[in-house]
């Protein structure tokens, strides 16, 4: 009688490749997600924050547009049918991005990355008041811990730290609001069309912000090099990896990776900028991460039980 191994041995290389690919995807997601505020800080010496944000989004828009045209997926009918939706989320993301780029002039990228993860708490609040969801004890405990960690981080000597903290928290709230709107009104759109028009309208509003504030500046050759790097990696590649990982990885792993990415951001901050977090920031950051892990774990179990939660995870746009 043939052994069981004879029928299963051909499966081992496939599963081995799957595990290897998942590990590569996890590592890539962790590194790229940790670089957002680091990239923003790298552009500070070269351009005003609003100008940096505008050109970064513009580069991403052009790259996604070229892909959409090449694959014949781009359709302006999508924009025409959803013009107010795109104007709404475009404005939210534009102001959020502008605040994030300005914030790193006041606080270091590692601390900004920690504070940026409080978007989960904003999403929890939006679900509570917008969707009339019930707040459970694990959610309340996790949210309370995370908010407490934010106060520990922000309650430091110096007005600049508080200004930077406020900017990041405001930016994460606006982005969480955009996430809720996307989940509610844009979930069934083709991803390429959704992403392109979201980037296009966001770039438009960022151009208006730079024009109104008088901060529009033509980049130097050196600045262009940084902008091309950030636009390609932090917009085009980042969002592609983000949605790919959302589909390929277990939700608990996806949430864990995104929650722990500030740890990598702190290491990048030390290595690139030689900025070390204070003991108070580390304590506050640990509390924030621990609280968010509790919230993330609860949301995963809730989803597995089949309960609806539009804010349980970032928007999943069907292809």
More confident residue, 144 or 273: 273
Q: Residue 21 has what pLDDT?
A: 62
Say if residue 254's pLDDT is above 80.
no
- What is the per-residue pLDDT across 189-224, written as a single tens digit (0 to 9) for each? 888 999 999 999 999 999 999 999 999 999 999 999
pLDDT band of residue 181 (cuts 50, 70, 90) is: confident
- Sign of the alpha-carbon torsion through 156, 174, 189, 74: negative
Per domain, the residue ranges of the chain are: 48-304
- Cα–chain center distance at 252: 17
Q: What one-character-per-residue DSSP string does 110-176 give?
A: HHHHHHHTTHHHHHHHHHHHHS-PPPPHHHHHHHHHHHHHHHHHH-SSSHHHHHHHHHHHHHHHHHH
The listed range with the strongest mean pLDDT (3-7, 132-136, 144-148, 243-247) is 144-148
pTM, two decimals, is 0.81
- Average pLDDT on 26-44 reads 90
- What's the CA gap between 56 and 103, in Å, rounded? 16
pLDDT band of residue 230 (cuts 50, 70, 90) is: very high
Q: Rounded mean pLDDT of the chain?
A: 80
The SS3 of residue 277 is coil
Q: Residue 180 has what pLDDT?
A: 79
Tokens of residue 246, six digits: 């959302």
């Amino acid at each position: 009688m043939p052994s069981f191994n004879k029928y299963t041995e051909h499966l081992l290389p496939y599963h081995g490749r799957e595990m290897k690919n998942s590990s590569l995807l996890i590592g890539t997601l962790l590194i790229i997600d940790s670089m957002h505020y680091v990239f923003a800080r790298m552009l500070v010496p070269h351009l005003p924050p609003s100008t940096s944000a505008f050109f970064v989004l513009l580069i991403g828009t052009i790259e996604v547009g070229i892909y959409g045209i090449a694959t014949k997926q781009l359709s302006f009918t999508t924009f025409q049918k959803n013009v107010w939706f795109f104007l709404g989320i475009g404005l939210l993301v534009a102001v959020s991005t502008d605040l994030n780029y300005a914030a790193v002039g006041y606080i270091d990228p590692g601390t900004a990355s920690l504070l940026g993860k409080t978007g989960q708490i904003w999403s929890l609040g939006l679900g509570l008041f917008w969707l009339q969801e019930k707040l459970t004890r694990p959610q309340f405990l996790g949210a309370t811990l995370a908010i407490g960690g934010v106060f520990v981080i922000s309650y430091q000597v110096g007005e600049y730290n508080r200004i930077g903290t406020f900017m990041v928290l405001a930016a994460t709230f606006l982005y969480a609001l955009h996430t809720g709107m996307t989940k509610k009104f844009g979930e069934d759109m083709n991803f390429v069309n959704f992403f392109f028009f979201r980037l296009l309208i966001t770039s438009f509003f960022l151009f208006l912000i730079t024009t109104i504030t008088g901060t529009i500046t033509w980049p130097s050759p050196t600045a262009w090099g940084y902008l091309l790097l950030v636009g390609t990696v932090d917009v085009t590649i980042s969002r592609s990896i983000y949605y790919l990982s959302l589909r390929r990885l277990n939700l608990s792993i996806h949430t864990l990776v995104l929650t722990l990415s500030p740890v990598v951001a702190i290491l990048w901050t030390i290595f690139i900028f030689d900025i070390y977090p204070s003991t108070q920031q580390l304590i506050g950051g640990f509390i924030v991460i621990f609280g968010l892990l509790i919230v993330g774990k609860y949301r995963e179990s809730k989803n597995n039980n089949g309960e609806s939660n539009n804010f349980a995870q970032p928007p999943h746009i069907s292809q």
